Amino acid sequence: MPHITFECSKNVEIDFNCFFEELAEKLVATGHASKMGIKCRVVTGDNYYIIDGNPDYQMVNLLFRLREGRSKETLLEFSEIGMSLMETYFEKEITAKKIILSTEIKELIKGQDLTKNSIR
């Protein structure tokens, strides 16, 4: 863990591999995430409506799915790492006032959410 989903409108353009590599490094550096457990993916919405339908508007939601048991401080740290990195990657869009960024944490319940990692 964590499972990370980068949800965005189809008009978002960044180097996702670089973003995920940097995000993974920062999360592992906290001591609260294992490099072997990090899995990232992009989900792009082809159909979206933001504020008033302006097609230039963009949105990104960074969703972290984590096993339960981390402190509230650690969960906040993960959110802050994600937001800070998005702010760096989308500095131009923020300055142009055309993007909405958000983070979301979902805790998975031990014993109900199962994982089998054959890569280890």
In a domain, 25, yes or no: yes
Give the pLDDT confidence of 10-66 residue by residue, as tens digits.
999 999 999 999 999 999 999 999 898 899 999 999 999 999 999 999 999 999 999
In the chain, the number of structural domains is 1
The verdict on residue 118 lying in a domain is no
Neighbours of 115 (CB within 10 A): 10
Q: pLDDT at residue 87 above 70?
A: yes
Contact 10, 49 (CB under 8 A): no
Average pLDDT over residues 77-88: 97
Determine the structural domain holding residue 97 and report its residue range: 3-108
User: 74, 26 in Cβ contact below 8 A?
Assistant: no
Task: CATH number of the domain at 71, please.
Answer: 3.30.429.10
The pTM (predicted TM-score) of the whole model is 0.88
Q: What is the per-residue pLDDT for 113?
A: 67
For residue 66, give both structure tokens: 């984590």
- Does the residue 29 lie in any domain? yes
Q: Cα 82–85–89 angle (5° rounding)?
A: 135
Give the distance, in angstroms, between the CA of residue 98 and the centroid of all CA atoms in the same chain. 19
**Is 35 inside a domain boundary?**
yes
Give yes or no for residue 68 having a pLDDT over 80.
yes
